[in-house]
Structures are given as C-alpha cells and as structure tokens.
Structure 1
Amino acid sequence: MVARHDLATDPRLQEELLQARRGTAFFARKLNELADSELDGASLLAGWSRRHVVAHVGYNARAIARLVEWAASSVETPMYASPEARNQEINFGATLSPIALRNLFDHSAVHLSVEWRDLPDANWAHEVRTAQGRTVPASETVWMRTREVWVHAVDLDSGATFNDIPTSVLERLLKDITSAWKIRGTDTGLLIKVNDTAGNGTSLTFGDTTAGEPTIITGPLPAVVEWAAGRGNSGITAAGPGAPTQEMPAAPAWI
C-alpha cells in the first residue's frame, strides 16, 4: 500500500522537500502565464527557446526520479544514458505540441513527487550517481530539483526574477556556484561580498579570501546570484584589478 504522505521523517529533509515543491509550483505558475504561441519565444538561455527550457525541466524530473528509484530498489538506474541522449531528449521535447509539452512538465513533476513521497526513511541515505558523475545520497536529489525549478522559472523570461527565489535557496545556490569555481581554480583573485542577505544587515563573503588585491563583486543577494549564475549583472558593482574600466567582469563558468 502506497503512502499518503512523505515517509521521510527528518525535519530538515521535510523542509527541503517543501521548498522543492514550492519551486515546482512557481515554475508551473510562470509557465501557465505564457500563451501557447509564446512558448516559441526565446528564453534567457542562449540558443534555447522557452520550449527547450520546459522540455529540460520536464525530462529533468524524470531523470531525478530514476535516481530515487535507484535508491528505493538498489538497482542502478542512471539519470541519462549519455550526455548526447540527454540533449537529444531535450531537442525532441522542444518539438512537442504545446499541450504535450505542458503535460510533460505536469506529469513528470507529479511522478517525481510521488517517488519522493514513497521513498522509505532509511533509503534517503542510499548513494546514487548524478549525470556529472558525483556520488551523492538520495537526499541530494531534492536540492538538485530545487535548483532546477527556481532558476529555470527565471529562464522562462515570463516575469520571474531572482528576487522571487527564497533567500535560503539563493544562499545555497551561491555556495554551490562558488564551490564549483574553487574546485576548478577559476575564482582566483575574485571576492564576492553580499550585502543585507535577509533585510537584517547580515553580509556574506565568498570566493578567494587570500588574494592581496582581489576583484570585489558587491551587491544584494539576488543580484549577486544572478551574476554568478551567468544571468545578468544589474544591481551589482565591481572594483579592483579585474574591473579597471568599471565594467562588470563576466562570472566564471558555473556548470
């Protein structure tokens, strides 16, 4: 008999599941605000239409659901057969009729939510492997999806901004991005200073804290994350050797 509620009992995981589902609902709202004809329009991602974004988010839910199924059954089920298969899937999805594309998003989101709901408490610690080859506990799938739905809701370019993303999600996202830079060594001489993260005067610092004369990127949390994610540079300032002409330097590659 299937569960009628999440089997997960860890309070932190329960909160993360709620945030992922809220992000899914937010993406759905922004998608529903688009007329069918507007799906053909450009997204904020170079080379991708809104159709590509919707297809990606839909197939991403299915891919993450496969990881949850892996954790439940201990039978290896990779997210994608290959990077090429993933790209082909997205390109195919972008050709679907508007109603089929919308159904892809709706049905895949429900499927993933049910897989999360029915995963036994102990299985959340089971290890799975992401498309990037990282070995992570199944609980990481919740953050993987949270990141996708909130950021890609902005990418739809239908009115959402990084200001709509919850502070807790933005902070974790910035930690992810700057950690990726650090691993690759692309953050050398780059210091990120976030002002007033929650309206309470709290500040955060990321990046290369050892540089003698770093390039300093400063601004409110939503604007800094928008820049770090490669989505824009409004609302932030740059100073130092990397910005000699007061032009905003491009952020290092994230993914």
Structure 2
Amino acid sequence: MSVTTDEAARAALRARQGPGYREDSPQAPARELLWARRGTAYFARVLGGLSDAELDAPSLLPGWSRRHVVAHVGYNARALTRLLEWARTGVETPMYASAEQRGAEIESGATLPARALRSLVAHAERHLDVEWRDLPGPAWEARVRTAQGRLVPVRETAWMRTREVWIHALDLDAGASTRDFPPELLGALLVDVPRMWRRREETVRLRLVPDGGDDVVLGDGGPTVSGSLPDLVRWLAGRGARGLTSSAGELPHLPRWF
C-alpha cells in the first residue's frame, strides 16, 4: 500500500516527538481546523502589531474599541471550549449563560490591563486547541447547541472559530485584508454568508461576478456586483467595499452576517 506525503510527514513527526505525541483524531474536520489554526496565528500577528495604547482606538465594529474585539475573540474561544467539553463528557455546557452574560463579559474584558487582555486570548486559544486535539473520534458527531440555539455536531466549532479569527482580524483595523485569506476559505465564506441570511429568512437578490470565477446568484438574481473574490467577500461580510462595481450604480444594502 502506498504512503502519501502527508502520512509520511505525520509518521516522521510522531517518531521525533516520541510516546507523548498527540494529534487530531482522523474523524476531526481537518480542513476547518487548519483554517482555524492559521486564522488564530493571523489574528495574533495583527494583534501583535498593535501597541498597548493602540488597543484603545475604535475597531471597525460600531461601538466597539479594539479592546472589545480582542476580549470577544478570547471569550469566544472559552465558549467553544465549553462545547467541546460537552461533547467529550456528555454533560450539557452552554456557550454562555445568557446573551446578557456574554455582553457583560466582553465589556468587562475590554477593561483589563493590556497584558492581561493579550494573555486572555493566548491562553483561551491554547485551551481550545487542546480540546480539539484530544477529542475522541466518535465525539466529533456529538450534538451541541450554539449561542443562537441551533443543534449542530461539535465538528462545526472549527468553522465557527475560523470565521471569528479571520473576520475579527479585519475588525482590528490594523492592516488585515481578505487578500491574505486562503483562496479556499474565501470560497467557503462566499457560501456561508448567504446561507446565514437564508437561515434568518432574509431575502437578498444579487448576482456576484468574481474575477475569473463562476457567477453566484442569490435569490432570483438582481443587480450584478463584480470584483475580486477577496473584495466581494469583504463586502458580503459587512467589512467595507473596495474595488467593486455594481450594475445599479451604487452597491445594494446588505443585511448583517454575524
């Protein structure tokens, strides 16, 4: 039986690490975990480029400073970790006690000293990654409840975290760009945004024409919006419009995403 390059690399890594080496279960969502981990590193790099004083500046999210964004990303990792613990133990552990508790947690976190705020994110993301790595294979299909009340397999936490770290890196307003996103991730986001709108029963009629890609029709079609895939995704995600053209002249108004 032939051995792939990836399998050989993993075998070599196991040999180097010795008996204490651990890796994701084969049942884990490998693609989404890779995106989440790369996005975690990307968010950390953007955050690392900001001075402590610069954390006080506004973010791209109305009413939130950069501090709020950082606190949210840290507490989101803790909330997703609770879902992993639910899947592993079978004991129901909600992401948040309530929407009010979630909001109060972010407001409180935004007041932490800069060093503590940075540590919150670093420690929370490491804990989440350990829970992902150590989750047994069958547990990846365990059903857990999101903050919006949806019952989903816990494997969806990898995609949930992917969106959080990549998109909120943009919200820090510190040089992050959708042009830095992996192309496959951009394609997945192009699917996810309209899916979220349909889930909330919000009708959007558009024809998207990515440069060099296939047209994407939302609803029964409407104004044509053209541009690069990174610019289209940035606009659909509600993070500003750059380099886009619309057959209607002005770009249509879009519902929020998440």
Q: Provide TM-score, normalisation by structure 1.
A: 0.89
Structure 1: any 5+ residue segments left out of the alignment? 197-201
Equivalent-residue separation in structure 2 for 1:108 and 1:147 (angstroms): 16
Indicate yes or no: 2:43 matched with 1:43: no
In structure 2, the CA distance between the partners of 1:98 and 1:174, relative to structure 1 (3 Å rule), is: same
Equivalent-residue separation in structure 1 for 2:178 and 2:172 (angstroms): 12
Q: Which has the higher helix share?
A: 2
Indicate yes or no: 2:138 matched with 1:122: yes
Name which of 122, 125, 129 aligns with 1:106. 122
| Cα distance, 1:36 vs structure 2 | 0.4
**What is the aligned partner in structure 1 of residue 234 from structure 2?**
226
Listed one character per residue, the Cα deviations across residues 4-47 of structure 1 (whole Å, up to 9, x for unaligned) are 3224114x722321221111011001101100000001111111
Residues 140 and 153 in structure 2, CA contact (< 8 A), matched pair in contact too:
yes
SS of 2:224's equivalent in the other structure is strand
**What is the aligned partner in structure 2 of residue 93 from structure 1?**
109
| Cα distance, 1:3 vs structure 2 | 6.8
Structure 2: any 5+ residue segments left out of the alignment? 1-18
SS of 1:159's equivalent in the other structure is coil
**Structure 1 residues 52-71: aligned runs within 5 Å:** 52-71=68-87
**What is the aligned partner in structure 2 of residue 166 from structure 1?**
182
Residues 170 and 239 in structure 2, CA contact (< 8 A), matched pair in contact too:
no
| Cα distance, 1:188 vs structure 2 | 4.1
| Cα distance, 1:185 vs structure 2 | 4.2
**What is the aligned partner in structure 2 of residue 238 from structure 1?**
246
Q: Percent identity?
A: 52
**What is the aligned partner in structure 2 of residue 16 from structure 1?**
32
Paired letter, 1:253: R
Root-mean-square deviation (CA, aligned residues, Å) is 1.6
In structure 2, the CA distance between the partners of 1:83 and 1:3, relative to structure 1 (3 Å rule), is: farther
Runs of 4+ aligned structure 1 residues displaced above 6 Å come to none
Paired letter, 1:205: V
Equivalent-residue separation in structure 2 for 1:3 and 1:122 (angstroms): 22
Q: Provide TM-score, normalisation by structure 2.
A: 0.88
Indicate yes or no: 2:23 matched with 1:6: yes
Residues 3 and 117 in structure 1, CA contact (< 8 A), matched pair in contact too:
no
